[in-house]
Amino acid sequence: MNTASLLEAHALTIETPGGRTLIRELSLRLGRERVAIVGRNGVGKSTLLEVLAGHRQASQGRVVRRGRGVLVAHQLGDCAHPTASPGERRRQLLQSALDARPELLMLDEPTSDLDAAGIAWLSGRLRTWRDGLLVVSHDRALLRSFTQFFVVAESGCRHVEGTFDHLIVELGRERSENERRYLSALNRLVTKEEHNATVRRRRQRKKNVGRIREIKRCPARALLNDKRSYKQESQGKRAVLQKVRIGAAREETKARRRSLPVDLPLELAFPRLPEADLGPVIRGEEVTAAAGERTLFRGLSWSLGRDRVAVCGPNGSGKTTLVETALGLRGTPRAGRVHCDSARVGYIAQNGANWRRDESLVDFIATERRTTCLEMVARVLNAHRFPLALADRPLATLTPGELVRAALICLTQRESPPELLVLDEPTRDLDFLGLAALEAVLAAWPGGLLVVSHDAEFLEAIGVARRIELGLR
């Protein structure tokens, strides 16, 4: 292997526009290796890749680049064919980057929007790539072709060498260690606060006794005021220092909490669905839909209640159109009839786009469940393995993967829970922990599922029994 350096980073510190540190004093050297950058959502993987590619400035440090590099970003830019689907546009961008034969190819979530055929095509091209390769991805199938991993986490960045299965074991060990450290830090914080509370009570008692003694001795008022002023100033400084120390301990605990998966042995708490069979939730009869002059599907019929059905097919075959038509979001189809009992449906669009709102997940659950008991809300979040640190944020500020998971919790906690969940590409942008949690939730969900997905491993895990296959015509 040619070990000539193509990319070097020296003491990189990367911060968000709001000042939150993502990467601190990172140094690395990359030659013509194949390296996958992994980590949970929101830790800064895409930002790091943009800095390394020269598309964004670091807060501190420098990057040295040798040779020609090309970055295919996660966000889709302009395309020569504006009517192309996201998957078709993604493949065009990847094809152009591969054809350019750069010394260093950098890809950010390259399998996003790709169908099964597209993922197979990309995997085949990358297996034969002999120059430098740096890929940010959560795609399990793609990552199994790598043996070099760069793990980005709040606790720091590190290199792991071995198979993807070895990586999962290492991350599991890291999570266990984080949990031990977090619990230890939390115990220290509680002990310190209890100690400070005891000290404050003791000082208050001494202060009260001292005042009584001073009054009995009747000292000069000026001297008494001087003593009080000194004590108040001294105690005030001490209180400020204690507050700073406690604040630092809290921040340390919160930082570990953010990097710690919520993995408590609690049963998934779903509301009870109606026992009675009220008939199909959505129904279509001889439905035909088109995009412009192109027919997507013709004469398609369906009847869904508490079934588990996947909508599959290549990009541009009309999967999202089928879902939106079935839900009545596209108006009247070109031909045929559709019926949807919307009160019995819960829908999450791609990237959770229909759930971008200002309220937080905690607020939503508390409102729907009509409770002020945060302990109950926390139990629900723990059952879904959703990070508590994210639950107080406005839903609109979450990453797409986090938002999809949060929206799913919202749907399952509605006062009148849906009987059929309709999910359009729910695994996009999910990290390993989020994907595993999503699979567990959907596998245990007692209602029906209509899921658009290219991930065969995911569909098997959630128990899909039937598929609606669409094809280009």
Q: What is the pLDDT of residue 177?
A: 73
Q: What is the pLDDT of residue 255?
A: 45
Task: State how far the Cα of 271 lies from the Cα of 365, in Å rounded to an integer.
Answer: 12
CB-based contacts of 442, cutoff 8 Å, min separation 6: 408, 421, 449, 451, 462
Averaged pLDDT in 10-residue chunks for the chain of 473 residues: 78 87 90 91 89 93 93 79 78 94 95 87 92 92 91 86 89 70 64 74 74 60 56 55 54 47 50 76 93 88 92 88 92 90 93 93 87 74 79 90 93 89 91 86 91 92 92 61
Q: What is the pLDDT of residue 230?
A: 52
- Mode of pairing for the β-strands spanning 148-153 and 156-161: antiparallel
Q: What is the pLDDT of residue 259?
A: 42
DSSP letter at 273?
Answer: P
Q: What is the pLDDT of residue 265?
A: 43
Q: pLDDT tens digit string along 91-134?
A: 999 999 999 999 999 999 999 888 888 889 999 999 999 999 99
Please check whether residue 103 is in contact with residue 69, taking contact to mean a CB–CB distance below 8 angstroms.
Answer: yes
Q: What is the pLDDT of residue 3?
A: 58
Distances (CA, A) of 166 to 140, 146, 160, 162, 461: 13, 11, 9, 6, 21
Q: pLDDT tens digit string along 251-275?
A: 545 544 444 444 444 445 677 777 7
* Residue type for position 339: H
Q: What is the pLDDT of residue 256?
A: 43
pTM for this structure? 0.72
Largest CA distance in the chain: 101
Task: State how far the Cα of 396 lies from the Cα of 145, in Å rounded to an integer.
Answer: 34
**Token pair of 404, please?**
């999809």
Count the Cβ atoms, other than its own, within 10 Å of residue 381. 21
Please check whether residue 7 is in contact with residue 132, taking contact to mean a CB–CB distance below 8 angstroms.
Answer: yes
Q: What is the pLDDT of residue 260?
A: 46
Q: What is the pLDDT of residue 380?
A: 81
3-state secondary structure of 248: helix
